[in-house]
Amino acid sequence: MAESLDAFRSEVRAYLEANCPPEMRQPFQSEDDAPWGGRNFKWSAPQKAWLDAMAAKGWTVPTWPTEYGGGGLSKDEAKVLAEEMRRIKARPPLQSFGIWMLGPALLKYGSHEQKLEYLPPIARGEIRWCQGYSEPGAGSDLASLKTRADDHGDHWVINGSKVWTSYADQADWIFCLVRTDFSATKHNGISFVLFDMASPGVSTKPIKLISGYSPFCETFFDNVKVPKSQLVGELNRGWDIAKYLLTHEREMIGAMDTGGSGPGLGQLAGKLIGADADGRMNDPILRGDIVRADMDGLAFMLTMERVKDEAKAGQGVGALSSMLKYYGTELNKRRQELFMSVRGSDGLMWEGEESRNGAQPRNWLRSRANSIEGGTSEVQLNIIAKRVLELPGA
Amino acid sequence: MALVLTDEQAMIRDSADGFFAEKAPVSELRRLRDARDEVGFSRELWKAMAEMGFAGILVPEDQGGVGLGYVAAGLVQEAIGRNLTLSPMLSTAVLGATAIIAAGTGEQKAALLPRIAAGDLLLALAAEEKSRHTPNQVETRAEPSGNGFRLTGRKSFVLDGHVADKLIVVARTDGEADDTKGLTLFLVDRDAAGVTVDRTVMVDSRNAARVTLDGVQVDGADVLGEVGGGWPVLERVLDAGRACLAAEMLGLSGESFRQTVDYLKQREQFGVKIGSFQALQHRAAHLFCEIELVRSATLRALQALDEGGNAALFVSLAKGKASEVAKLATNEAVQMHGGIGMTDEFDIGFFMKRARAAMETFGDGAFHSDRMARLMGY
């Protein structure tokens, strides 16, 4: 096993060395560098070369089966690939909600035909997906969603609207929760459907956030025709898929920009604020706040590691994605507050090159949404109370 | 190293859990407290712990121990924490054994380690002089005398000092009061001439002692480690104790949380179980997360000690975080139990008392936060 892994590592190393363009071996400079893919994406030449090289091996989605465009790698092999990419500081060749969210759901709930149709274009970065979950009247209470799909024989007609649809204005297709049974209890009448955003009757409108960015949209459906073959899983069982997907989303959000992986807040503060002869940063109370956040960050990072290791060893408890989502996002918000404190008035700069167009305050503001999107912190605590602690009436 | 228990470690955990739940549950702490027991723990229990291999858990096999390392020692301490067991495990099996393994000569190891493992020798670390943990603040002096030294000074918070056969005394052979250089460790018989031990009964029903050294004569063979080079050994010993205290606090936090969640499912007010109130659910769920973080940090710290390198960062993370969370867990436990949580008849208060004492032992959240920040360079 170890020997074959070593052989695999040499193979990966040689391939990456030969195929990863130098431009793709440095961190993203801006949001524009993110390789989202899709029909309208403008690939730079190195981005395209890197994508094609990785997609040829199935390594944009290393653990997916090869027949669906994946690399068919074991978890250990995928880890080797990730390590080797990190070693040369290679960027991910492709990132998308197709890879992170829809793919895992289709692999679990989709038919063989659906997998063949939808997964390879995701792996090759040809189709960009968005997620149609929240609605104006269905946020934390997602299952009360009202977008309706009326049965018209061989197709449905969809009417309603979604909100907080990430990048809906740039997406090619949507995976969407719709109500297909109007008499059932709220969790039991929901279905999970896929359709083209270019379908007649679909429109989007970006939402400008407090950060000044517009990563989300309102999305409207006005008599949109959707063939019945585009239903995933069973009719009226879409909530199961939604929950499964939300688990993935939580893990993703919880793992973003957190404690241990973040830049050294204390080191930055020591540099900007100064230190005494013993090397202790000058503002002792702020220093205390920073180190508490660093400790929680490191303990959180170790917990993510432990959860992974326990899962591998077949141990561990359920509903941990809620714990990671809750703690990771709250921690990130705390860290962003501390970054603002450390930078003082410099952190208030909203425009201009010096402040990279207000990156600090915009990141701080953006991070406020971490504990709202993908299920609020309060919803995560509800889930822990119910599923882990088994408290009554939760 | 993966952050999971090996099969062997999982077995140790299960056998320690079973042993302490049966032989030394919280009711035993209550009995010893109410009896105002002079020893403060059951010597019979300590013998049984030695037979289980717990007393010699760090002692190598060729010295009569089981040599299972710090992760295993932490699992025993966690079970001790869950049951609030009174025993000299920390003072002797962790602190004492670590000191002798780290700094002892061949003769010292051969003479002392097998007796520790057999449960026949009790040790106590006499390091502290201030009421808040500052291990470098040592005024106790060791002046050269004959072929050895004469020790003069006062030590406080000497855990199990009232019953220890030998004290490990930290004294200054050189330097100023807060220098880390110039410290030396000495092995001193408790009944040596010039040693006075005053037992102090603490809030957690454990015993510590004030030790006065009045010109105590020791010879060269009683020096543990190098003269003037005691600081790194002391740090190693303290870090071992801190990580094991983190494990103990993990155990007591987890158990007080378990009992509290049970109570939330039973107690009714306003015609419903109080556990159905979201105000309590969210606090309980938050506490669950915090305890999970302590579990990860503690395991990592114990693994770092087993790896043998510098474990300071992970140890301070574990001890600091475990202290803060033990405080939260036990305060929430009392609050959520309401009035009954304030009664002596009910056990939950014992958990809060032990949490506070364990926090104050070898540095609380503030001490270890400061140490973390320094280790991280700010």
Of B288, B299, B374, the CB nearest to A389: B288
A220 confidence band (pLDDT: 50, 70, 90): very high
CATH of residue A266: 1.20.140.10
Q: Which residues contact A98 (CB under 8 A, 6 or more apart)?
A: A122, A127, A128, A129
Cα-Cα-Cα-Cα dihedral of B157, B163, B166, B167, to 10°?
A: 10
Q: B49 in helix, strand or coil?
A: helix
Of A303, A313, A392, the CB nearest to B292: A303
Average pLDDT (A10-16) is: 96
CB contacts of A384 in chain B (<8 Å) are 285, 288-289
pLDDT at A75: 86
pLDDT at B169: 98
* Interchain contact, B278 vs A327, CB within 8 Å: no
* Interchain contact, A299 vs B296, CB within 8 Å: yes
Q: How many CB atoms lie within 10 A of CB A311?
A: 12
> Which of A44, A78, A95 is the last residue in one of the domains?
A95
Average pLDDT (B48-74) is: 97
Residues spanned by the domain of A45: 2-95
pLDDT per residue over A152-205, tens digit each? 999 999 999 999 999 999 999 999 999 999 999 999 999 999 999 999 999 999
Q: Look at residue A254 and tell me whether its pLDDT is greater than 80.
A: no
CA-to-CA distance for B188 and B158, rounded, in angstroms?
Answer: 13
> Does A231 lie in the same domain as A134?
yes
CB contacts of B317 in chain A (<8 Å) are 295, 298-299
CA-to-CA distance for A16 and A79, rounded, in angstroms?
Answer: 15
pLDDT per residue over A338-358, tens digit each? 999 999 999 999 999 999 899
State how far the alpha carbon of B369 is from the alpha carbons of A343, B137, B313, B316, in Å: 22, 19, 10, 7
Of A279, A298, A306, the CB nearest to B374: A279
Of A275, A326, A381, the CB nearest to B378: A275
Interface of A with B in 55-94 (CB under 8 A): none
> Does A264 lie in the same domain as A379?
yes
pLDDT at A110: 96
Distance from CA of B333 to the nearest CA of A (A): 15
* Segments of chain B assigned to CATH 1.10.540.10: 7-120
pLDDT at A257: 45
pLDDT per residue over B319-369, tens digit each? 999 999 999 999 999 999 999 999 999 999 999 999 999 999 999 999 999
> Does A313 lie in the same domain as A261?
yes
* Interchain contact, B317 vs A299, CB within 8 Å: yes
* Segments of chain B assigned to CATH 2.40.110.10: 125-229
CATH number for the domain whose boundaries are B125-229: 2.40.110.10
Of all residues in chain A, the percent with pLDDT exceeding 90 is 79
- Residue to mutate among A302, A312, A315, with most B CBs inside 10 A, is A302
CATH of residue A40: 1.10.540
Count CA atoms within 13 Å of residue B215 on its CB side: 2
| Angle at which helices B7-23 and B70-83 cross, to 10° | 30
Q: B188 in helix, strand or coil?
A: strand
Q: Look at residue B97 and tell me whether its pLDDT is greater than 70.
A: yes
> Does A222 lie in the same domain as A154?
yes
A148-151/A155-166 β-pairing: antiparallel
Identify residue A64 by its one-letter amino acid code. W
Q: Look at residue A239 and tell me whether its pLDDT is greater than 50.
A: yes
Of all residues in chain B, the percent with pLDDT exceeding 70 is 100
Q: Look at residue A259 and tell me whether its pLDDT is greater than 50.
A: no
CATH of residue A204: 2.40.110.10
Q: Look at residue B108 and tell me whether its pLDDT is greater than 60.
A: yes
CB contacts of B366 in chain A (<8 Å) are 288
Distance from CA of B289 to the nearest CA of A (A): 6
CB contacts of B276 in chain A (<8 Å) are 391-394
CA-to-CA distance for B313 and B377, rounded, in angstroms?
Answer: 12
Q: Which of A77, A135, A218, A249 is catalytic?
A: A249
In a domain, A116, yes or no: no
> Does A90 lie in the same domain as A143?
no
pLDDT at A258: 43
Helix/strand/coil (H/E/C) assignment for every residue in B338-349: HHHHHCCCCCHH
In a domain, A297, yes or no: yes
Q: For chain A, how big is the Rg over CA atoms in Å?
A: 23
CB contact B320 to A (< 8 Å)? yes
In a domain, A264, yes or no: yes
CATH number for the domain whose boundaries are B7-120: 1.10.540.10
CB contacts of B264 in chain A (<8 Å) are 391
How many CB pairs (< 8 A) connect A and B?
A: 136
Interface of B with A in 350-369 (CB under 8 A): 366, 369
ipTM for the predicted complex comes to 0.95
> Does A53 lie in the same domain as A18?
yes
CB contacts of B300 in chain A (<8 Å) are 302
Tell me which chain B residue has its CA closest to the CA of residue A304.
B296
CA-to-CA distance for A280 and A267, rounded, in angstroms?
Answer: 11
* Interchain contact, A394 vs B281, CB within 8 Å: yes
Average pLDDT (A271-278) is: 90
Of A315, A378, A392, the CB nearest to B275: A392
CB contacts of B269 in chain A (<8 Å) are none
In a domain, A244, yes or no: no
Distance from CA of B291 to the nearest CA of A (A): 10
In a domain, A248, yes or no: no
Q: Look at residue B150 and tell me whether its pLDDT is greater than 50.
A: yes
CB contacts of A312 in chain B (<8 Å) are 2, 4
Identify residue B171 by its one-letter amino acid code. A
> Which of A43, A76, A95 is the last residue in one of the domains?
A95
Of A267, A299, A393, the CB nearest to B377: A267
CB contacts of B284 in chain A (<8 Å) are 385, 389, 391
CB contact A269 to B (< 8 Å)? yes
* Interchain contact, A312 vs B2, CB within 8 Å: yes
Distance from CA of B151 to the nearest CA of A (A): 32
Of A269, A295, A323, the CB nearest to B372: A295
Could you confirm whether A249 is annotated as catalytic? yes
Q: Look at residue B308 and tell me whether its pLDDT is greater than 50.
A: yes
Q: Look at residue A314 and tell me whether its pLDDT is greater than 80.
A: no
CA-to-CA distance for A148 and A177, rounded, in angstroms?
Answer: 9
Q: Average per-residue pLDDT in chain B?
A: 96
CB contact B261 to A (< 8 Å)? yes
A159's enclosing H/E stretch is: strand A155-166
Q: Average per-residue pLDDT in chain A?
A: 91
CB contacts of B326 in chain A (<8 Å) are none
pLDDT at A178: 98
> Does A137 lie in the same domain as A43?
no
> Does A264 lie in the same domain as A227?
no
> Does A154 lie in the same domain as A208?
yes
A316 confidence band (pLDDT: 50, 70, 90): low
pLDDT per residue over A123-157, tens digit each? 999 999 999 999 999 988 999 999 999 999 999 99
pLDDT at A253: 64
DSSP track, A325-369: HHHHHHHHHHHHHHHHHHHGGGGG--SSTTTTTTHHHHHHHHHGG
Distance from CA of B127 to the nearest CA of A (A): 24
> Does A265 lie in the same domain as A228?
no
Tell me which chain A residue has its CA closest to the CA of residue B2.
A309
* Interchain contact, A266 vs B377, CB within 8 Å: yes
In a domain, A209, yes or no: yes
Q: Which residues contact B64 (CB under 8 A, 6 or more apart)?
A: B56, B113, B114, B117, B118
Helix/strand/coil (H/E/C) assignment for every residue in A196-220: ECCCCCEEEEEECCCCCCCCEEEEE
Distance from CA of A310 to the nearest CA of B (A): 6
CA-to-CA distance for B315 and B304, rounded, in angstroms?
Answer: 8
In a domain, A251, yes or no: no
> Does A336 lie in the same domain as A367?
yes
| Number of separate domains in chain A | 3
DSSP track, B146-183: TTEEEEEEEE---TTTTT-SEEEEEEESSS-TT-STTE
* Interchain contact, B299 vs A306, CB within 8 Å: yes
Q: Look at residue A255 and tell me whether its pLDDT is greater than 80.
A: no
Match 């090996």 to its residue by tokens: B6
A216-227/A231-232 β-pairing: unpaired
In a domain, A118, yes or no: no
pLDDT per residue over A57-112, tens digit each? 999 999 999 999 999 999 889 989 999 999 999 999 999 999 999 999 999 999 99
> Which of A77, A95, A113 is the last residue in one of the domains?
A95
> Does A301 lie in the same domain as A186?
no
pLDDT at A260: 40
Inter-residue contact A119 to A106 (CB < 8 Å): yes
Match 């907080």 to its residue by tokens: A164
* Interchain contact, A294 vs B272, CB within 8 Å: no
A29 confidence band (pLDDT: 50, 70, 90): confident
* Interchain contact, B293 vs A300, CB within 8 Å: yes
Interface of A with B in 284-343 (CB under 8 A): 287-288, 290-292, 294-296, 298-300, 302-303, 305-306, 309-310, 312-313, 315, 323, 326-327
Average pLDDT (B281-308) is: 97
Question: What kind of fold does domain B231-375 have according to CATH?
Answer: Butyryl-CoA Dehydrogenase, subunit A; domain 3 (1.20.140)
Of all residues in chain A, the percent with pLDDT exceeding 70 is 95
CA-to-CA distance for A384 and A378, rounded, in angstroms?
Answer: 10
| H-helix segments, A124-264 | 238-255
